[in-house]
């Protein structure tokens, strides 16, 4: 069993071995590159005119769409603010209208209206023969726009 456990250990400094290998590779002379290969690599890394034009057009398109998106967001914010202002204005006008309506309804005296109608304007309640009853199909009311006779 002692042989099996000793086989699992690495003897020596691994970092030192790797450093020696690195120095050996650095001291080797570099291989010369074939001129055709070097020319192909330079050609592949160079940008041609059509590629540069394509990049310019793509950049302009992206910039234009970004500007349009920003303007659309600004317009949306303006619209939301405008709607909010209109809603506030509506609420205040409705409150004002309701208060004026309540003031008008409370200022009318029903007894005074009845007195003016009967005494000053000569109005009187309908007699028995003047009342006409209708039976309708629904529980609704009927508006009479002219005489029925």
Q: What is the pLDDT of residues 51-109, one digit of tens each?
A: 889 999 999 999 999 999 999 999 999 999 999 999 999 999 999 999 999 999 888 88
Residue 82 lies in a domain: yes
HEC letters along 58-93? HHHHHHHHHHHHHHHHHHHHHHHHHHHHHHHHHHHH
Evaluate whether residue 120 is within a structural domain.
yes
- How many structural domains does the chain have? 1
The conformation of residue 108, written as its DSSP 8-state character, comes to -
Tell me the average pLDDT across 28-35. Answer: 76
Whether residue 144 lies inside any domain: the answer is no
Q: What is the mean pLDDT of the chain?
A: 84
What integer pLDDT is reported at residue 56 of this predicted model? 96
User: Is residue 119 one of the residues assigned to a domain?
Assistant: yes
Q: How confident is the model at residue 9 (pLDDT cuts 50, 70, 90)?
A: low
Tokens representing 131 are 């009342």
Which pLDDT score is estimated for 10? Answer: 52
Q: Please determine, for residue 28, whether its predicted confidence score (pLDDT) is greater than 80.
A: no
Residue 94 lies in a domain: yes
Q: Is residue 30 part of a domain?
A: no
More confident of the two residues 139 and 18: 18
User: Residue 75 sits in which domain range?
Assistant: 55-124
Q: Is residue 148 included in any domain, yes or no?
A: no
C-alpha 138/C-alpha 143 separation (Å) is 14
The answer to whether residue 31 sits within a structural domain is: no
CA distance 122 to 115: 10
C-alpha distance across the termini of the chain, in Å: 129
As a whole number of Å, the CA-based R_g of the chain is 49
**Mean pLDDT confidence for 28-45:** 78
pLDDT of residue 64: 98
Q: What is the DSSP letter of 36?
A: H
């Amino acid at each position: 069993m002692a042989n099996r456990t000793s086989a699992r250990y690495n003897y020596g400094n691994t970092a030192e071995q790797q450093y020696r290998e690195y120095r050996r590779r650095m001291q080797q002379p570099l291989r010369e590159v074939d001129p055709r290969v070097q020319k192909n690599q330079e050609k592949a890394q160079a940008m041609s005119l059509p590629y540069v034009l394509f990049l310019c057009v793509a950049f302009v398109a992206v910039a234009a769409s970004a500007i349009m998106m920003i303007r659309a967001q600004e317009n949306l914010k303006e619209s939301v603010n405008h709607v909010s202002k209109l809603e506030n204005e509506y609420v205040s006008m409705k409150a004002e209208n309701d208060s004026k309506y309540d003031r008008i309804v409370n200022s009318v005296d029903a007894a005074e209206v009845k007195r003016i109608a009967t005494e000053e304007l000569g109005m009187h309640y309908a007699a028995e023969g003047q009342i006409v009853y209708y039976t309708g199909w629904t529980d609704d009311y009927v508006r009479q726009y002219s005489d029925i006779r």
